């Protein structure tokens, strides 16, 4: 028997060589059959150098982003083709997804295609191989973030299904969470609190930021999506962050972010913010008493770095005209009457009319948000903020807005003038 295959190493030696815990070794052996150690006369495990190399190979695949189950599956696939995985350069292998890849754009397209085909293993394999070709930040920003953005645009144009977009997002979230869990302990001063305001479910930009900040040595407390406002003050007093970072992708989420920003100002805690909605509506940036992170995550990292080196002066909240506040309260009080009036006014077939409750919710959330932020102009009369969520024709939408306009006149009166002026722009603009 060659030295390479000779079982001479005990469990303690393998643990020292690989850094794996004994329990992990036992689980991998029992669940996946890799490695498959021999047994001494006393029934103790004995490993060969090949067994140790197999463990290191699996760990390398994990470091590239694969789950252990997919790493094992990749091993068996290579073996089934008569190959020894320990002797294969994965990047140069003929059946590698990179055999025709020359640029990051090619790599990104290969990953998107795998996601569109619901091919989880291939998508994860591409991410893992991306680490072999590019640094982690490049994979994060150029492959993952831009790939998801392209899939999102495809969804807006009805070229990508909701299921395909969700599949890709779920895969990326699992991948990022695994990478975050593997980051070392913080080494730099400064505690950063990351979160999404209420009504914001998109966490991938925040997870990307979380990963990069941890890799730079910062201590990060991550609250995740849709963080409710209730009890937030108690949470802030408990954590005592040096900087709070919030992201919002939609107008309703931005309105809730403003509410958090006002609380942070009262508590004298600095806020940095960003997100898609602030990129598409630059005027919205000045409505938030905080520091805008920039339109790209790479710039956001630089902005946070600068903050800890030279803290900028506090930002004072802008005063919102009282008419917006009173209009909002009046609308909230009479919203059920508006919804009922619209339902009664629109005579559509039942299959079409069943969309009305969902449409009312979308419109209500955006109208309330614009009023909270003190600017109805944030709601474009072109309704580009609405059309991705519904399937009504322009004629059907016109019928809806006429019914809404009539309902505001009958139930809000003069106190609904702000809304009526905006509805006039929608109907006649």
Q: What is the pLDDT of residues 128-167, one digit of tens each?
A: 878 777 778 888 888 999 999 999 888 877 889 989 999 9
What residue has token string 């094992």?
72
Task: Check whether 373 has a pLDDT greater than 90.
Answer: yes
Note the residue count of the chain.
Answer: 429
Average confidence (pLDDT) over 14-24: 89
Instruction: Read off the pLDDT band of 68 (50, 70, 90).
Output: confident
Average confidence (pLDDT) over 207-222: 93
Q: What is the pTM of this model?
A: 0.74
Residue 359's CB is within 10 A of a number of other CB atoms, namely: 18
Average confidence (pLDDT) over 355-384: 90
Q: 104-116 vs 162-181: helix axis angle to the nearest 10?
A: 120
The torsion angle over the Cα atoms of residues 399, 393, 380 and 373, rounded to 10 degrees, is 70
CATH of domain 188-309: 3.40.50.280
Task: Check whether 2 has a pLDDT greater than 80.
Answer: no
Q: For the chain, give me the number of helices (H) and strands (E)?
A: 19, 7
What residue has token string 């809404």?
404
Task: Check whether 96 has a pLDDT greater than 70.
Answer: no
Q: Which pLDDT score, from 0 to 100, does residue 165 have? A: 93
Cα–Cα dist 194/207, whole Å: 9
Task: Check whether 97 has a pLDDT greater than 50.
Answer: no
Selected residue with higher pLDDT from 196 and 73: 196
Average confidence (pLDDT) over 27-41: 88
> What is the overall mean pLDDT for the chain?
87
| Least confident piece of the model among 68-82, 259-273, 306-320 | 68-82
| Least confident piece of the model among 64-73, 342-351, 404-413 | 64-73
Q: Which pLDDT score, from 0 to 100, does residue 84 have? A: 81
| The token pair that represents 269 in the structure block | 């805690």
Task: Check whether 185 has a pLDDT greater than 80.
Answer: yes
Q: Which pLDDT score, from 0 to 100, does residue 387 have? A: 62
Q: What is the pLDDT of residues 242-277, one digit of tens each?
A: 999 999 999 999 999 999 999 999 999 999 999 999
Q: Under 8 Å CB-to-CB from 154, ≥6 apart: which residues?
A: 160, 165
Cα–Cα dist 103/94, whole Å: 17
Say whether 201 sits in a helix, a strand or coil.
coil
Q: Which pLDDT score, from 0 to 100, does residue 325 have? A: 95
| The token pair that represents 25 in the structure block | 């070794």
Residue 35: asked if its preceding bond is cis (omega within 30°), the reply is: yes
The answer to whether residues 45 and 39 touch, using CB atoms and an 8 Å cutoff, is: yes
Task: Check whether 429 has a pLDDT greater than 90.
Answer: no
Q: Which pLDDT score, from 0 to 100, does residue 286 have? A: 93
The answer to whether residues 262 and 290 touch, using CB atoms and an 8 Å cutoff, is: no
Q: What is the pLDDT of residues 375-407, one digit of tens each?
A: 999 998 767 777 656 778 888 889 999 999 999
Average confidence (pLDDT) over 400-423: 94
CATH 1.10.1240.10 applies to domain 104-177: yes
CATH 1.10.1660.10 applies to domain 3-87: yes
Task: Check whether 114 has a pLDDT greater than 60.
Answer: yes
| Least confident piece of the model among 247-256, 284-293, 307-316, 380-389 | 380-389
Phi/psi class of residue 15: alpha, beta or left (left: φ > 0; alpha: ψ in -120 to 50)? alpha
Domain locations in the chain as residue ranges: 3-87, 104-177, 188-309, 322-428
Query: Can you spell out the DSSP letters for 57-69?
Result: HHHHHHHTT--HH
Give the closest residue to 403 by CA, choosing from 374, 427, 376. 427
Q: Which pLDDT score, from 0 to 100, does residue 240 have? A: 94
Return the top range by mean pLDDT from 80-84, 126-130, 285-289, 312-316: 285-289
Task: Check whether 299 has a pLDDT greater than 70.
Answer: yes
Instruction: Read off the pLDDT band of 80 (50, 70, 90).
Output: confident
Q: Which pLDDT score, from 0 to 100, does residue 271 have? A: 96
Q: Which pLDDT score, from 0 to 100, does residue 351 have? A: 84
């Amino acid at each position: 028997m060659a030295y390479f295959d000779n079982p001479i190493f005990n469990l303690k030696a393998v643990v020292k060589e690989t850094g794996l815990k004994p329990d992990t070794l036992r689980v991998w052996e029992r669940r996946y059959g890799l490695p498959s150690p021999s047994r001494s006369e006393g029934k103790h495990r004995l490993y060969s150098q090949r067994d140790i190399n197999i463990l290191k190979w699996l760990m390398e695949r994990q470091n590239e982003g694969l789950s252990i189950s997919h790493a094992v599956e990749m091993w068996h696939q290579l073996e089934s083709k008569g190959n020894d995985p320990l002797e294969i350069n994965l990047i140069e292998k003929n059946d590698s997804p990179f055999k025709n890849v020359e640029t990051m754009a090619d790599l990104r397209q290969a990953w998107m295609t795998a996601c569109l085909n619901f091919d989880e293993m291939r998508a994860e394999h591409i991410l893992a191989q991306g680490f072999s070709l590019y640094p982690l930040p490049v994979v994060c920003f150029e492959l993952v973030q831009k790939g998801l953005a392209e899939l999102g645009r495809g969804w807006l144009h009805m070229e990508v299904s909701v299921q395909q977009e969700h599949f890709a997002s779920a895969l990326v979230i699992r991948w990022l969470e695994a990478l975050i869990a593997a980051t070392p302990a913080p080494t730099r001063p400064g505690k950063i609190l990351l979160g999404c305001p209420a009504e914001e479910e998109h966490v991938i930009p925040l997870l990307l930021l979380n990963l990069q900040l941890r890799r730079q040595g910062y201590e990060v407390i991550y609250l995740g999506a849709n963080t409710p406002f209730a009890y937030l003050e108690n949470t802030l007093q408990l954590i005592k962050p040096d900087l709070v970072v919030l992201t919002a992708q939609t107008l309703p989420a931005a309105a809730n972010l403003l509410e958090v920003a006002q609380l942070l100002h009262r508590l004298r805690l600095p806020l940095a913010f960003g997100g898609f909605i602030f990129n598409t509506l630059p005027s919205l940036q000045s409505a938030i008493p905080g520091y805008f992170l920039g339109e790209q995550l790479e710039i956001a990292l630089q902005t946070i770095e600068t903050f800890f080196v030279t803290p900028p002066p506090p930002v004072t909240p802008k005063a919102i005209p009282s008419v917006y506040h009173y209009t909002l309260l009046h609308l909230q009080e009479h919203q059920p009457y508006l919804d009922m009036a619209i339902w009664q006014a629109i005579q559509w077939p039942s299959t079409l009319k069943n969309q009305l409750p969902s449409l009312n919710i979308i419109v209500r959330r955006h109208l309330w948000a614009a009023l909270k932020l003190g600017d109805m102009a944030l709601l474009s009369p072109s309704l580009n903020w609405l059309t991705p969520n519904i399937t009504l024709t322009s004629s059907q939408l016109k019928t809806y807005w006429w019914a809404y306009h009539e309902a505001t006149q009958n139930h809000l009166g003069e106190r609904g003038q702000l809304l009526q002026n905006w509805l006039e722009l929608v109907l006649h603009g």
